[in-house]
């Protein structure tokens, strides 16, 4: 089970530090606030997509899977709009320091969110394939459900960390990703043995494997978003850094 | 001198504890003004060309610069930014004793150029100002020909004896200032007849004609259009190969474009000095952040 350390949260002063609403230019305040809200709104849509995709595969609900595929178009539009907003702010305001980091962060997180949407799409397609192959099979579902739960929580937490500019919440997501990666590997081994035991199940188990793979990727993107949050709030790049090092860096300031 | 600076620091702390009425207008920075405690970042370098310690500047009773410690490296471009009245120009003008021209102005502390105390009482400021040249906000060519504007310095400092040498100095200075091609056919026409950007480059040519080591620039582009500004900025990058440059600017983008290090001044205090990239992406001090992101002016 993924353990989230609930005791630590970002201190209030750090959350307030972003001062999004304190520019001399009210228009600039509005632009940045809108950018933030827009990313969160897109996050909300993508979060819903993942949830629907997972439920579609668990319940072999093709209708729900189709809905996920439709929402994808909306996510693509949002991605482009968000990028345009970022470009406009860069062009008009030449943001610096935390404002610059916010815009950079949003362009990156935007891409990660869109990719999460893509992965949810893949899961939805697997749900349709599994349903076509003749409904539910308990094989591999335990693993799938388990990882899906962790990954969904990671996505929610990464968005939460962004909404509150909370680096500790973000760090928990980075931690959780390591565990999901481990669980993914052990689930893979498990599913491999199912296929060896019963070669007739191969195509069905493969579909589960693809879905698992997509979930694992969603976890990676949630971790990326969290790393961007840490960059946004503290200005430090924690990509490709060990957990221990990140923790030390976070404690420093 | 340094000991005195400590005393002043204490005084200044007491002052900042009670913000003036003007500061009360903006809620954010006013809370933070109490937080200035020394300079954060990297004010010191190993091989300093200019070493400044405990610099205090007073206009009469009023203190304008508070105990600034700063090193400037050879061939470095350092920019000084901050809101109006933060003391950045006053501080810049200390480096070639330009403040001597203001009667009520008093400078304390130590400023060394290559280890030499420039406030030494016996020191002659004329050769000092040849070593530390200055370019001002408004282009101020002499009411003379373009040629004479550039030739004047080398002549009075006795740097050249023959006319041919002088011609060479004028040409090379104008070339380095990126002005030669535009004026080579009219060297005898008055310098004041040039456009604003050309006049400013003429002033830069005049400054570099006497082979200074340091060039101080006090908002050199504030009266220029974007094209002329771009030319001056390009020039700054080229000049930094041979000169040490300190530039005061109101344009933060300009500071970001031209300088290696950026110094942020606030209410006469040097708040932060850091690599320019760092200052504009992740400054160490809240006040720097507030200023460069336009949260107060």
Average pLDDT, chain B: 87
Quick check: A116 pLDDT over 50? yes
pLDDT score of A24 more than 70: yes
- The CA distance from B219 to A27, in Å, is 28
Burial class from Cβ neighbours inside 10 Å (0-12, 13-18, 19+) for residue B95 reads: buried
C-alpha–C-alpha distance, residues B74 and B80, integer Å: 16
Mean pLDDT, chain A, rounded, equals 90
Q: DSSP states of A208-227 as a string?
A: HHHHHHHHHHHHHHHHHHHH
Q: Could you say which residues from 212 to 231 on chain A have a Cβ atom under 8 Å away from some Cβ of chain B? A: none
Q: Is the pLDDT of residue A14 over 70?
A: no
Q: Is B179 helix (H, G, I), strand (E, B) or coil?
A: coil
Instruction: Please determine, for residue B28, whether its predicted confidence score (pLDDT) is greater than 50.
Output: no
Q: What share of chain B is helix, strand, coil (3-state, %, to 5)?
A: 40, 25, 35
Q: How far apart are CA A74 and CA A114, in angstroms?
A: 10
Let me know if residue A117 belongs to a domain: yes
B38 pLDDT band (50/70/90 cuts)?
confident
- Cβ of B282 within 8 Å of Cβ of A23? The answer is no
Q: Which two tokens stand for residue B80?
A: 């000084």
> Which CATH number does the domain housing residue A165 bear?
1.20.58.220
pLDDT, tens digit (0-9, with 9 covering 90-100), for A81-106: 999 999 999 999 999 999 999 999 99
Partners of A22 on chain B (C-beta within 8 Å) are 28, 290, 295
| CB pair distance less than 8 Å for A24 and B294 | yes
For residues B87 and B57, the answer to whether their CB atoms sit within 8 Å is yes
Whether residue B27 has pLDDT greater than 60: no
**Residues on chain B touching A98 (C-beta within 8 angstroms):** 289, 293
Closest CB from B252, B283, B293 relative to A23: B293
Residues of chain B positioned with their CB less than 8 A from the CB of A99: 293
The answer to whether the Cβ–Cβ distance between B282 and A235 falls below 8 Å is: yes
**Which residue in chain B has the smallest CA separation from A232?**
B282
Residue of B nearest to A103 (CA): B281
Give B40-87 pLDDT, tens digit per residue. 999 999 999 999 999 999 999 999 999 999 999 999 999 999 999 999
CA B269 to chain A, closest CA, distance in angstroms equals 21
* Distance between A249 CA and the closest CA of chain B, angstroms: 15
| Best to test chain A binding among B293, B296, B297 (most A CBs inside 10 Å) | B293
Mean pLDDT of A158-165: 96
The CA distance from B91 to the nearest CA of chain A, in Å, is 25
- A253 touching chain B per CB within 8 A: no
CATH topology of domain B2-292: Rossmann fold (3.40.50)
- Whether residue A10 is contained in a domain is answered as no
Q: Which helix (H) or strand (E) holds A47?
A: helix A26-59
**Closest chain B C-alpha to A130 CA, distance in angstroms:** 49
C-alpha dihedral, B47 to B49 to B54 to B59, nearest 10°: -170
Count residue pairs from A and B with Cβ separation < 8 A.
44
Q: Which domain holds residue A229?
A: 21-252
Which residues of chain B are at the A interface, by a Cβ-Cβ cutoff of 8 Å? 28, 252-253, 256, 279-283, 286, 288-290, 292-297
In terms of CA atoms, which chain B residue is nearest residue A21?
A: B295
> What percent of chain B is predicted at pLDDT more than 70?
88
Q: Are B69 and B54 in contact (CB under 8 A)?
A: yes
Domain count, chain A: 1
- ipTM of this complex prediction, to 2 decimal places: 0.78
Q: Do A235 and B289 touch (CB under 8 A)?
A: no
What tens digit of pLDDT does each residue of B206-217 get?
Answer: 999 999 999 999
Tell me the C-alpha distance between B122 and B136, whole Å.
27
What pLDDT was estimated at residue B192? 94
From B256, B281, B297, residue closest to A24, measured CB to CB: B297
CA B2 to chain A, closest CA, distance in angstroms equals 31
Q: Which of A25, A96, A101, A102 to mutate to test the interface with B (most CBs of B within 10 A)?
A: A96
Q: Which residues of B touch A238 (CB under 8 A)?
A: none
Query: Is B28 within 8 Å of A25 when comparing Cβ atoms?
Result: no
A97 assigned to some structural domain: yes
- Is B187 a residue whose pLDDT tops 90? yes
Are residues A23 and B283, on separate chains, in Cβ contact within 8 Å? no
Give yes or no for a contact between A113 and A79, defined as CB atoms under 8 angstroms apart: yes
In a domain, A215, yes or no: yes
What is the token pair recorded at A202?
């191969």
Selected residue of B254, B292, B294 to mutate for chain A interface (largest A Cβ count, 10 A): B294
Specify the range with the lowest mean pLDDT, choosing from A9-23, A198-212, B138-152, B160-174: A9-23
- Are the beta carbons of B87 and B55 closer than 8 angstroms? no
Q: Does A108 touch chain B (CB under 8 A)?
A: no
Kindly report each contact of residues A201-209 with a partner whose C-beta sits within 8 Å and lies 24 or more positions away, as own/partner: A201/A137, A201/A139, A203/A133, A204/A130, A204/A133, A204/A137, A204/A139, A205/A139, A205/A140, A207/A126, A207/A129, A207/A130, A207/A133, A208/A126, A208/A130, A208/A139, A208/A140, A208/A141, A208/A143, A208/A144, A209/A140
Residue A60, Ramachandran bin (φ over 0: left; ψ between -120 and 50: alpha; else beta):
left
Torsion angle in degrees (nearest 10) through CA of A191, A193, A199, A204: -10
pLDDT tens string B245-295: 999 999 999 999 999 999 999 999 999 999 999 999 999 999 999 999 998
Across the range A213-223, mean pLDDT stands at 97
Put simply, whether the predicted model's pTM sits higher than 0.90 gets the answer: no
Residues in chain B closer than 8 A to A19 (CB atoms)? 28, 290, 295
Nearest to B283 among A22, A25, A97 (CB): A97
Closest chain A CA to residue B254? A94
**Residues in chain A closer than 8 A to B281 (CB atoms):** 96-97, 100-101, 235
């Amino acid at each position: 089970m993924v353990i989230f350390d609930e005791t630590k949260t970002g201190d209030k002063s750090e959350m307030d530090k972003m001062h999004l609403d304190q520019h001399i230019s009210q228009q600039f305040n509005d632009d940045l606030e809108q950018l933030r809200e827009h990313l969160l709104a897109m996050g909300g849509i993508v979060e819903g997509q993942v949830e629907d995709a997972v439920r579609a595969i668990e319940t072999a609900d093709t209708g729900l899977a189709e809905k996920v595929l439709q929402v994808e178009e909306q996510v693509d539009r949002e991605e482009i709009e968000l990028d345009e907003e970022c470009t406009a702010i860069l062009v008009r305001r030449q943001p610096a320091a935390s404002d610059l980091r916010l815009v950079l962060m949003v362009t990156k997180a935007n891409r990660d969110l869109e990719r999460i949407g893509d992965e949810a799409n893949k899961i939805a397609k697997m749900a349709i394939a599994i349903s076509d192959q003749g409904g539910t099979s308990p094989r591999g579902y335990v693993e799938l459900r388990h990882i899906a739960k962790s990954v969904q929580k990671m996505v929610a937490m990464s968005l939460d960390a962004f909404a509150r500019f909370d680096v500790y919440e973000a760090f928990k997501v980075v931690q959780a990703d390591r565990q999901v990666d481990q669980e993914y590997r052990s689930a893979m081994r498990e599913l491999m043995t199912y296929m060896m035991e019963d070669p007739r199940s191969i195509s069905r188990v493969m579909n589960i494997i693809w879905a698992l793979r997509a979930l694992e990727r969603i976890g990676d993107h949630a971790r990326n978003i969290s790393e961007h949050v840490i960059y946004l709030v503290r200005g430090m790049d924690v990509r490709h850094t060990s957990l221990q090092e990140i923790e030390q860096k976070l404690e420093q300031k | 001198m340094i000991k005195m600076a400590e005393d002043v620091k204490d005084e200044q702390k007491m002052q900042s504890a009670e913000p003036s009425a003007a500061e009360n207008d903006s809620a954010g920075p006013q809370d933070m003004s109490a937080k200035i405690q020394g300079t954060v970042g990297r004010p010191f370098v190993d091989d300093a060309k200019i070493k400044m310690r405990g610099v205090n500047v007073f206009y009469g009773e009023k203190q304008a610069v508070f105990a600034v410690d700063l090193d400037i490296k050879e061939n470095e471009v350092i920019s000084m930014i901050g809101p109006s009245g933060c003391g950045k120009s006053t501080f810049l003008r200390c480096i070639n004793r330009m403040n001597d021209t203001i009667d009520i102005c008093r400078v304390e502390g130590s400023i060394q150029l290559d280890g030499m105390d420039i406030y030494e009482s016996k020191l002659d400021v004329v050769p000092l100002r040849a070593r530390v040249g200055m370019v001002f906000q408004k282009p101020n060519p002499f009411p003379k020909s373009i040629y004479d504007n550039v030739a004047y310095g080398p002549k009075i400092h006795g740097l050249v004896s023959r006319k041919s040498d002088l011609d060479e100095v004028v040409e090379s200075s104008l070339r380095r200032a990126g002005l030669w091609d535009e004026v080579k056919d009219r060297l005898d026409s008055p310098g004041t007849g040039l456009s604003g950007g050309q006049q400013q480059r003429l002033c830069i040519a005049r400054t570099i004609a006497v082979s200074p080591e340091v060039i101080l620039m006090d908002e050199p582009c504030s009266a220029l259009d974007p094209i002329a500004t771009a030319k001056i900025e390009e020039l700054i990058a080229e000049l930094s190969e041979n000169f040490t440059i300190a530039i005061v600017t109101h344009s933060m983008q300009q500071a970001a474009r031209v300088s290696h290090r950026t110094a942020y001044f606030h209410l006469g205090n040097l708040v932060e000095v850091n690599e320019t990239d760092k200052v504009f992406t992740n400054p160490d001090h809240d006040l720097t952040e507030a200023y460069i992101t336009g949260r107060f002016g």
